[in-house]
Structure 1
Amino acid sequence: MESQILTTPPNFAPATSEFDANAWMHVQLQRTEQALSAWVGVNAPANLGDAMRYAVLDGGKRLRPLLVLAAAQSVQGLPEAAIRAACAVELIHAYSLVHDDMPCMDNDVLRRGKPTVHVQFGESQALLGGDALQALAFELLTPSELEVPASVQAKLCRILAQAAGAQGMAGGQAIDLASVGKTLTEQELRHMHSLKTGALLEASVAMGVACATVPAPVQQALARYATALGIAFQVVDDVLDVVADAATLGKTPGKDAANEKPTFVSLMGLDAARSYANDLLEQALAALHDSGLQDVRALSALAHLVVSRSH
């Protein structure tokens, strides 16, 4: 698949001497939306493209693509590899939501403030749309070698496949479904979410890092950052499921409690869960400091965004 994306300066950042997190995110979100719009659902038959585009475009926080691009910026990675990785991880995330929302899984009717894909297009189109998004993710990671070196392609595909499969997101969802009505320890809950939610967030950072050649200590520090961030994201998600309304959250609140799913709030209490999220933020920021990288401002801003978000 040939690139249809406008060229971008190698440093990924707005032309300014002072770092403006909102301006940086605006630029990266524009790049991501442009790329997704150009690549998702193009020439898909029998209205399949409509379901694919509905699942991906015009919605979502795009945290995973932003993490890819921020990590790639921090290590001065290849821009073309980074934008493809950013889109690929978002497609895996989107496909997982399409499938998770279906009646055989969570049976939810609201996602990103609009009807879920199976409600809008029917279960068959939702299932096929999710399948097609998963396949497209890996197609984006394997362009011609003139665009992305084969060695980088292989690394990106391996990272994403491992994060999405049985030892990652899919495995975590299986544990989640098997844990309904059960009481989990904090360690068990952390393990479940480190797979279900954390694996793809960790992969986002790892994919950004894989766009360059990076010393092992730097990789390890950024991996610690991503691990803390992944758990923090889920803790905040559990808090919001209790305190936010549907209009703010963009999805049905209170589903976890109604379905008797274990959460950090049910295990720790609301105040302790909020405090835990802040502790995880400090761990993530300390890991960034330990990386020794000169510019981790975007990664730092994203960590703060995860913990302070309201939806």
Structure 2
Amino acid sequence: MTLKEYLANRVEIVERTLHTWVPAETVEPEVIHRAMRYSLFAGGKRIRPVLCMAAGDVIQPGADGIADAAVTLEMIHTYSLIHDDLPALDNDDLRRGQPTNHKVFGEAMAILAGDSLLTLAFQVLGSLQHVSAEVRSQLVVELASASGTVRGMIGGQVHDIEGEGMQPNAALLEKIHRAKTGALLRASVRMGAIYAGANAEQLAALSEYGEHTGLAFQIVDDILDIEESSEALGKTAGKDLYQQKITFPAVYGLAESKRMAEEERQKAHAALAPFGDRATRLIEIADLIVDRKS
């Protein structure tokens, strides 16, 4: 199976699993379910749940029910995008190639749609059927920590907002992006490993892979914001520069940022050495993240 075929298969599983958990648009109150589904099914790459399942396959190929755990990452990610786009934060009009949630449903409903996806994610984790109560608890803590304020996604967003207009510097950049983007990507890999029963050494190796892959993802994201069009990205290009955000190109320049992304790719590859051929898909996904154009 080629990587393209593998990703198409995993994305189809993710889509199907999301549909089983998110209430239909006809379920009352209809408007909130329409708003949730509008952003959730807008065509994202599903990198986070795919990473979760791929990491699980390294430890226990085809672990029963892992897709249910994996889709909670997409719920959290989509909630963060809905809230990121609000006028009080990034004030964006375009996401995944279509008008942002608040442009369609209004600010109040967009806030509630994000809140609903956040709470649904933990409902799903608490309902997992194929793992022990201890593993369910570990998964809840992992996702909550990665989404939270201390070295988590929300903490990174706070640093990002506070950093707007400040002189770019490496220390603040590191603080922002290891938390804002890197934490959830790292958690994606760790949750797959935890679900599949990884031991301490396996979890440490996969965590290191997630750390480097997450950083590479953000470096490339910052580069693409400069080099690609809004049409290619599916969101407003050039927004980082306009809002004077602290990004890798702002601190290091484009050439050095590209070198750093490549370095993170190589470190991600090296972290997977203990797994041999079992980690082929994770290596391919790291390559895809660095080489992507959107």
User: 1: distance between equivalents of 2:242 and 2:187?
Assistant: 31
Over residues 126-169 of structure 1, what are the superposed CA-to-partner deviations in whole Å (9 max), with x where a residue is unaligned? Answer: 0111000001101111116x443212211111100000011200
Shift of 1:194: 0.5
- Gap regions ≥5 residues in structure 2: none
Q: How does 1:39-118 map to 2 (within 5 A)?
A: 39-42=21-24, 43-76=27-60, 79-118=63-102
Which residue matches 2:134?
151
Which residue matches 2:255?
271
Confirm whether residue 297 of structure 1 aligns to residue 248 of structure 2: no
Shift of 1:293: 5.1
Q: How does 1:129-140 map to 2 (within 5 A)?
A: 129-140=113-124
Moved more, 73-82 or 194-203: 73-82
Over residues 260-299 of structure 1, what are the superposed CA-to-partner deviations in whole Å (9 max), with x where a residue is unaligned? Answer: 111100111111111111111000000011x335501111
Over residues 6-46 of structure 1, what are the superposed CA-to-partner deviations in whole Å (9 max), with x where a residue is unaligned? Answer: xxxxxxxxxxxxx5211111111110011112222333414
Contact 1:224 1:287 in 2 (8 A): yes
Which residue matches 2:220?
236
User: 2: distance between equivalents of 1:187 and 1:216?
Assistant: 30
User: 1: distance between equivalents of 2:180 and 2:210?
Assistant: 14
Moved more, 225-234 or 69-78: 69-78
Contact 2:169 2:246 in 1 (8 A): no
Shift of 1:221: 1.1
Instruction: Quickly say closer, same or farther: Cα 1:118–1:80, change in 2 above 3 A.
Output: farther
Q: Describe the SS at the equivalent of 2:195.
A: coil
Contact 2:131 2:195 in 1 (8 A): no
Over residues 37-81 of structure 1, what are the superposed CA-to-partner deviations in whole Å (9 max), with x where a residue is unaligned? Answer: 222233341411000000101411111011001001111067344
User: 2: distance between equivalents of 1:117 and 1:251?
Assistant: 13
The aligned length equals: 291
Which residue matches 1:23?
5
Report the structure, 1 or 2, having the larger helix content. 2
Matching residue's letter, 1:98: I
User: 2: distance between equivalents of 1:24 and 1:55?
Assistant: 24
User: 2: distance between equivalents of 1:225 and 1:183?
Assistant: 31
| 1:34 paired residue among 9, 16, 23 | 16
User: 2: distance between equivalents of 1:209 and 1:194?
Assistant: 20
| 2:187 paired residue among 203, 219, 226 | 203
Contact 1:69 1:83 in 2 (8 A): yes
Confirm whether residue 221 of structure 1 aligns to residue 185 of structure 2: no
Moved more, 271-280 or 208-217: 208-217
- Gap regions ≥5 residues in structure 1: 1-18
Aligned residues: CA RMSD: 1.4
Contact 1:198 1:227 in 2 (8 A): yes
The normalised TM-score by structure 2 is 0.95
